[in-house]
Amino acid sequence: MLTEDSTTLEIYEKLTKIFHAVFHDDTIILDADLTAADVEDWDSLTHIRLVLAVQNTFQLKFSAAEIGKLMNVGGLVKLIQSKRPNVLTESVS
Amino acid sequence: MVILFGVRRFLRERFSLMDKIYENLSWLLPAPADFAAQCHSLLELGEDLGTRLQQLASYSLDDNELHRLAKVIGKARTANYSFAPLTPFRLGLLSNATVDFIVPALVASAARYGVALECIAGNYNQVMQMALTPDSVINAAHCDAVLVALDYRGLPLRSTPGNFDEARATVQAAFGHLETIRAGLKNKGNTICILQTVASPAEYLFGSLDRALLGTINNVIEEVNRGIVQGLAGTQDVLLDVARLAETVGLGEWHSPSEWNLAKLPFANAFVALYADHVARIIAALLGKTRRCLILDLDNTLWGGVIGDDGLGGIQIAQGDATGEAYLSVQRFVLDLRERGILLAVCSKNQDDVARLPFQKHPEMLLRENHFAIFQANWNDKATNIKAIANELALGLDSMVFLDDNPVERGLVRQLLPQVAVPELPNDPALYVRTLSAAGYFESVDFGNDDLKRAEFYQDNARRVILRNEVGDIQEYLASLKMEITFQPFDDNGISRIAQLINKSNQFNLTTRRYTEAEVRALWHDPRCFTLQVRLSDIFGDNGMISVVVCRQLSNSQWDIDTWLMSCRVLGRRVEDMVLKHLIEHASLRGIRKLVGIYRPTSRNQLVERHYAKLGFTELNQDSDGNTVWQLEVDRSSVTTPPMVVRSIGFDMVET
């Protein structure tokens, strides 16, 4: 049985891939406190790219309000988890 | 549980590109796993930047990958690298919407078509100002073309349902707006305009009445689009039919209210790659890079089945049968292409007279011999044949498109002749036409008498070209297939397939001896018979059983090869060498010193006339019927084999 910790781990794994793809930088390491200030090139445009990629990967849709409230990666992970409590029961691409 | 996820994810990744033909540009191969690394190394390797760039751009890339590639192109441009042999082109881009994601997609996608694109974007939502100001960024840049990317929000459209005068005024205003922009660009910038038709919003005001009632947004847009098309006639400017593109993927998918609200994206970002590819096609067409010739495989590409084995009555190309209908639609589309001036050629692994038979004699075939400029049906590799076709037509390889259902053949041509366009095809032939057409290899910006007459100029006499030198390193390609060959004696599992092959194979069949299933079982259980069923798999999948051999021990130290047949699908991979090696091993173990083979010629098996000669057998004699007898001394033979993983199952060890 996969635990909640493993779910979070899986989300971080996927997000890491997304960050690498969007920022063209394979050295980025994610933690909950990471913000736009910490990553070069994280501006409003890359933010949109990130959001779109997250939506696509996790097959979710965020509202503008939800996106507007995001402060750091930890918040993003929570948002994803809140929409997908049973990540295990469906395969994510 | 975890294993199940793995399988489903694998399957989804393997087949996902084919699910969404347009969104995923599924006619292109998926990006390789090391795409990022390959981008990185583009600048390091110095030479041939242009060519390597084009190859890297030829995969299906999503918007992040396009962005990555565009960044590398940008760095190369800043460092003054040469993009030769790509053709330079400067494109201006004006839009009422955010273009920041579109610009890199355009730059990277253009490379796919052999174009080194520089894209100058006008300021956000300042289309009119950019067009009319003489020293605006766009006009000062002296662009080769300017893409006027206005969507319905960028035109002065008003909804006045039922009001004819207001509706007409709206259409005039919108059209006038476009014309002013266009005139400004031409006067100040002296450039070609690429005008977009407008994609209608997905939302209804009434429902079906939106289309019929004057003054609804939908109705107004239809009139505006008509005006745009008419206004282009007789000018140098060209059309990008975004309205049709949006309809193709679905207006509901194309338009994304959330993405517009979020960042003023004109359409769903999921379609940036598709949009950019369509723009790139227009640019390529402007530069005369439209492809001109379609080269076609035959078996399972133009008809269902294999003509050499199934015969005229067995191939599927008829109405009333789902598979036959699918292939009829392929032929119909190919014929339409020819009617608009695209040249046709055949490239098939078949005996020439057998391959021509359906074109000559089958009543349901739509294509006939005289639709083809060149007709290559032989047993040589397709890369060499395609090169010969190109030479004969005096066309570059970059003018060619090659359609083949077999992924192994597609892979070979892609590897040895990278300038030839080879679309990936789905498993279902019903989707071949859609996929080929979606790829847009033959996009054009004009059409005239010359195009209509082109096919005749090349004289469709379906002629054969003599091959000279072999193209490239085929052995290297074969090794990359990671083939696995499995040898087994006859068994219960394989018996019906073995009987099927024995009774159906006509071409790669040395003796064409037919046996009932009962007779096959008898051979299996006969202690004086050595039987072999051969399976082959490669990176593209399992080919199943592809060869059957039966040897009879009629005298003490000799095996007579009663039956040796093979599926033509695996020709050219030296499977027969592997089989011979295996036969020799087993013969040795059993104290057999001679292998004797017979070739009995038929109208269908000319292919294997020299089979035993090629394997190093010595010809013993030939009789009046043309049958030839061959011999190999087991101890004195040496067989070189291609790299293949060999599995041998179910043989009893024999004591000598």
**Domains of chain B with CATH codes:** 88-286 (3.40.50.1110), 293-477 (3.40.50.1000), 482-648 (3.40.630.30)
Q: How far apart are CA B402 and CA B195, in angstroms?
A: 31
The residue in chain B having the minimum alpha-carbon distance to the alpha carbon of residue A67 is: B262
Cβ atoms of B91 and B106 within 8 Å: the answer is: yes
What is the model's pLDDT at position B2? 41
What is the model's pLDDT at position B636? 82
Q: At B255, is the pLDDT very low, low, confident or very high (cuts 50, 70, 90)? A: very high
CA B61 to chain A, closest CA, distance in angstroms equals 12
Average pLDDT, chain B: 92
What is the model's pLDDT at position B475? 87
Q: Diameter of chain A by CA atoms? A: 39
- pLDDT of B614 strictly over 90: yes
- Using DSSP's 3-state secondary structure scheme, residue B137 falls into helix
Interface contact flag, B262 A67, Cβ < 8 Å: yes
- pLDDT of B622 strictly over 70: yes
Interface contact flag, B64 A93, Cβ < 8 Å: no
Does the CB of B273 have a partner CB in chain A at under 8 Å?
no
Q: What is the pTM of this model?
A: 0.89
Instruction: Give the closest of B12, B258, B270 to A64, CB-based.
Output: B258
- Render pLDDT for B85-122 as a digit per residue (tens, 0 to 9): 999 999 999 999 999 999 999 999 999 999 999 999 99
Instruction: Give the closest of B5, B68, B71 to A91, CB-based.
Output: B5
What is the model's pLDDT at position B15? 47
What is the model's pLDDT at position A84? 73
What is the model's pLDDT at position B306? 94
Q: Which residues of B touch A44 (CB under 8 A)?
A: 263
What does the pLDDT average to over B127-154?
Answer: 93
Does the CB of B453 have a partner CB in chain A at under 8 Å?
no
Interface contact flag, A21 B64, Cβ < 8 Å: yes
CA B345 to chain A, closest CA, distance in angstroms equals 41
What does the pLDDT average to over B58-64?
Answer: 96
Q: Which residues of A touch B13 (CB under 8 A)?
A: 93
CA distances, B23 to each of A46, B185, B204 (Å): 21, 32, 25
- pLDDT of B212 strictly over 80: yes
Q: At B470, is the pLDDT very low, low, confident or very high (cuts 50, 70, 90)? A: confident
Q: Which helix (H) or strand (E) holds B154?
A: none
Instruction: Give the closest of A22, A48, A63 to B263, CB-based.
Output: A48
What is the model's pLDDT at position B639? 86
Q: How many CB pairs under 8 A join A and B?
A: 44
- Render pLDDT for B500-514 as a digit per residue (tens, 0 to 9): 999 999 999 999 999
Interface contact flag, B68 A24, Cβ < 8 Å: yes
What is the model's pLDDT at position B653? 61
Interface contact flag, A49 B12, Cβ < 8 Å: no
What is the model's pLDDT at position A4? 59
- Render pLDDT for B439-465 as a digit per residue (tens, 0 to 9): 999 999 988 777 777 766 776 778 888
Q: How far apart are CA B499 and CA B483, in angstroms?
A: 25
CA B78 to chain A, closest CA, distance in angstroms equals 19
CA A32 to chain B, closest CA, distance in angstroms equals 23
Of B469 and B600, which is predicted with more confidence? Answer: B600
Cβ atoms of B178 and B155 within 8 Å: the answer is: yes
Interface contact flag, B270 A24, Cβ < 8 Å: no
- Render pLDDT for B302-320 as a digit per residue (tens, 0 to 9): 999 999 989 999 999 988 8
Q: At B324, is the pLDDT very low, low, confident or very high (cuts 50, 70, 90)? A: very high
Cβ atoms of B596 and B630 within 8 Å: the answer is: yes
Q: What domains lie within chain A, and their CATH numbers?
A: 4-84 (1.10.1200.10)
What does the pLDDT average to over B290-310?
Answer: 96
- Render pLDDT for B576-603 as a digit per residue (tens, 0 to 9): 999 999 999 999 999 999 999 999 999 8
- pLDDT of B5 strictly over 50: no
